Chains A and B, each alone.
Chain A
Amino acid sequence: MSTLVQHPSSLQGARLPKWSPWAIAVGSVAVSIGLCVATGIESKIQWGLIAALLFVFGTYFIAAGVEGKRQAKDRIATSMVWVAFIIAVVPLASLVWETVKRGSKVLDGYFLSHSMGVVSDTEPGGGIYAAIIGTLEQVGIATLIAVPIGVLTAIYLVEYGRGHLARAVTFFVDVMTGIPSIVAGLFILSLLLIFDMSFSGFAGALALAILMMPVVVRSTEEMLKLVPNELREASLALGVPKWRTILKVVLPTALGGITTGVMLAVARIAGETAPVLLLVFGNPFINNNPFEGAQASLPLYIYQQYANSAGSEAAYDRAWAAALTLIAFVMILNLAARGIARWKSPKTGR
């Protein structure tokens, strides 16, 4: 048994029928329910866990008995992979489902067009108008700062970059990608402390720009590398100076991809809460001026509605509605970015 599992003369091993995984699954669920009811276990999580364990071990022993050890291992791997997938889907699906279900309760035109103002955190009413304004301004300013610097850096790395400086930039862009958002916030905070300045939307935008730059550099770099060298050479051979070649030939060719990268980067920073918490501080009133005074922000609004409301249902409803708005914003950006990438890819590719 240990050296050769199947008989060398025969290609036919004993095989479990095709429906057997389903049968074992149904069987283990039934047994686990029976077991749990009998022993008085109430938690559904435990029901699921016991059923999953029964399924995995049931599969192994049945298969080992009928088909042999190797097939049993194969089957156990298959069932583990499926079980892992299902276990992971539950929380992720719940996240989406709960946000949509609870968020749609108070999400309406009024909610989008009004701010908290003097509405107490524990009472119903109010909305996210100021937060939307704040987030749009902060993300907008961050984008205006980060995109030119990011794209130019990428151009430097791809079109000019040789030697120590380029290598250093590449390395530190990598390092920068890994900076926790709260550290970026602390950095700007240390500047505020040193220069004795106060909270503003702009300070938040600076921190967001730091988080955005490396993402833009990376994605732009990838896109510029995809532009075929023949195009550059063709243009240079016509006597077009290099900088015009880059502006008129290289960048337009890669524009779709660069746009995609920028949109994904915007989607990423739009949901950043920590730096905004440190630098923008939050404000129930509308403050349209990002350069002066505390502002509101959508992700921060979610946190403050959750944290400052002492368990009030009205505040939780507002938090969910704001979360749904934020997810919708991020998802639309993501879907649009992917759409652009797909639409543009045949032209830039190869």
Chain B
Amino acid sequence: MAKRIDVSGLSAYYGSFRAIEDISMTVEPRSVTAFIGPSGCGKSTFLRTLNRMHEVTPGGRVEGKVMLDDENLYGAGVDPVSVRREVGMVFQRPNPFPTMSVYDNVAAGLKLNGSYKKSQLDDIVEKSLKGANLWNEVKDRLNKPGSGLSGGQQQRLCIARAIAVEPKVLLMDEPCSALDPISTLAIEDLIGELKERFTIVIVTHNMQQAARVSDRTAFFNLAAVGQPGKLIEIDDTERIFSNPSVQATEDYISGRFG
């Protein structure tokens, strides 16, 4: 059920400022694709165009095409709400709903989309928490507030919440940057498991992380501050880190800039 993403000629704007320019790429289903690049190169902006979250920002607008299998996310008459149901997202800082319990957090997305029986809901919540490797840690405190968990647990709770609605694609915007190394390891292991079921796109600042978790890596860069960010190259992770075809990629990876 994971789907392929095909981006062609995509540019994103904040008001009149063009943040990313003319990006085309393919994201394979059942794989992990990592976006790397220096700060401000537009990789997070690009990620947010993949589930139409970019236009939530005041002044945000997008040109170009994003095909999810055979449907254009930006086609006429497409409802951004249905897009976001198909393409889930995990954010940089864990953001469980503070007023909801662990259980309600996971069930939040399900409750939007119709009525489930209590037993059905219980099953899905358990399955999702297990899927996020969190079940054993929270099964005794499902009715406690989600904000009482540790940072790493909160982030896995957010992942459970995202996968509970069975999206086709999971976008992760620097999911580990606010976490300690042990929590980070847990999330990375989880990503490895999740790619069996979902198409995963992850933005990361940490190149070791990209090398560890991803199958394919895309490198973004910008010519200068104030210039739009561009996709420099996308290739198998192994190639990118051992033998990239563009000099700038090698400079960045070997730490010569950025």
Contact = CB atoms under 8 A, between A and B. Distances in A.
A contacts B directly in the complex (CB < 8 Å)? yes
Interface of A: 2-6, 10-13, 15, 70-71
A12 B75 contact: yes
Contact of A3 (B77, B86, B115): B115
A170 to B, nearest CB: 27
A5 B114 contact: yes
B63 interface: no
Interface string B79-98: 10111001000000000000
B116 A3 contact: yes
B113 A4 contact: yes
Given A11-B68, A11-B78, A12-B79, A5 B113 contact: yes
A2 B78 contact: no
Contacts of A13: 79, 82
Interface string B174-211: 00000000000000000000000000000000000000
SS of B interface (majority) = loop
Interface in B113-129: 113-116
A12 B77 contact: yes
B115 A10 contact: no
26 contacts: A2-B114, A2-B115, A3-B113, A3-B114, A3-B116, A4-B113, A4-B114, A5-B113, A5-B114, A6-B79, A6-B82, A10-B71, A10-B82, A11-B68, A11-B71, A11-B78, A11-B82, A11-B83, A12-B71, A12-B77, A12-B78, A12-B79, A12-B82, A15-B77, A70-B112, A71-B79
A13 B68 CA distance: 16
A295 to B, nearest CB: 53
Contacts of A71: 79, 81
Nearest to B112: A70
Interface in B53-87: 68, 71, 73, 75, 77-79, 81-83, 86
Q: Which 5 A-B pairs have the closest CB atoms?
A: A3-B114, A11-B82, A11-B78, A13-B79, A12-B77
Contacts of A6: 79, 82
Interface residues of B, number: 16
Contacts of A10: 71, 82
Contacts, number: 37
B114 A11 contact: no
B64 to A, nearest CB: 17
A205 B220 CA distance: 69
A11 B81 CA distance: 9
A11 B73 contact: yes
Nearest to B71: A11
Contacts of A11: 68, 71, 73, 75, 78-79, 82-83, 86
A71 B86 CA distance: 17
Contacts of B77: 12, 15
A115 to B, nearest CB: 55
Interface string B96-140: 000000000000000011111000000000000000000000000
Contacts of A4: 113-114
A2 B83 CA distance: 20
A15 B78 CA distance: 9
Contacts of B82: 6, 10-13
Interface string B24-68: 000000000000000000000000000000000000000000001
Contacts of A12: 71, 75, 77-79, 82
Contacts of B115: 2-3
Contacts of B113: 3-5
Contacts of B73: 11
A81 to B, nearest CB: 18
Nearest to A4: B114
A6 B113 CA distance: 9
Nearest to A13: B79
A3 B73 CA distance: 23
Contacts of B116: 3
A130 to B, nearest CB: 53
B111 to A, nearest CB: 11
Contacts of A15: 77, 79
Nearest to B78: A11
Contacts of B78: 11-12
Contacts of A3: 113-116
B228 to A, nearest CB: 27
A71 B79 CA distance: 10
A71 B81 CA distance: 10
A10 to B, nearest CB: 7
Contacts of B86: 11
B78 to A, nearest CB: 5
Contacts of A5: 113-114
A51 B131 CA distance: 51
B207 to A, nearest CB: 34
